[in-house]
Chains A and B, each alone.
Chain A
């Protein structure tokens, strides 16, 4: 079974702090994604990476950056956390090529910025 893990289930940070959210997948997937989930808004794509050191902005990249130095790991960085970044963050991965296929999701990190 594909496994996507996220470093923390719950995280509390203060405004202005630098925050790292880590995601690791064990299926050698090329593509990895970061979403944020907010009530009434569904899932919105922040960034995705189609290969190591490759990244592309999603729909709401402002205030975020990402890093993918190894194929299995995709990090989301909040350079200076703000209260409006309080949200659930979900990581996902999928295999590239061929018809679109399933994205596999991690359990999520609920981030609270005070």
Chain B
């Protein structure tokens, strides 16, 4: 069965600093991986997705993620964060027709 682990419930970071949000998955079949973002009082929005091909995936708002099969990871990175990046970030793995979500990481960007 597929599962997703986001070890960090909260990541505080100063504005313009780099950030990495960690995601590890387990799956016995081919994986499709996603990062979603939820801004305060809003629904979820797709940030980026890995279906196949290049292991480095670029998404919206300057975010990127790298699929690492040997380490079963799909960490999200941004070289320089802004205050507006403050949000909750969810990693998800596809399981047939469903998504299995991690518990989320709150990215708190401080001035």
Contacts and interface: CB of A to CB of B under 8 A. Distances in A.
Interface in A80-110: 90, 92, 96, 99-100, 102-103, 105-108
Interface string B32-48: 10101000001111100
B3 to A, nearest CB: 11
Interface stretch (B12-20, B68-76, B78-86, B91-99): B91-99
Interface residues of B, number: 22
Contacts of B103: 40-42
Contacts of A99: 32, 51-52
Nearest to B106: A39
Nearest to B100: A45
Contacts of A35: 101
A40 B90 contact: no
A43 B101 contact: yes
A48 B9 contact: no
Interface of A: 4, 31, 33, 35, 40-45, 48, 50, 58, 90, 92, 96, 99-100, 102-103, 105-108
14 contacts: A40-B103, A42-B102, A42-B103, A42-B104, A45-B98, A50-B97, A100-B51, A100-B94, A100-B97, A105-B44, A105-B45, A107-B42, A107-B43, A108-B42
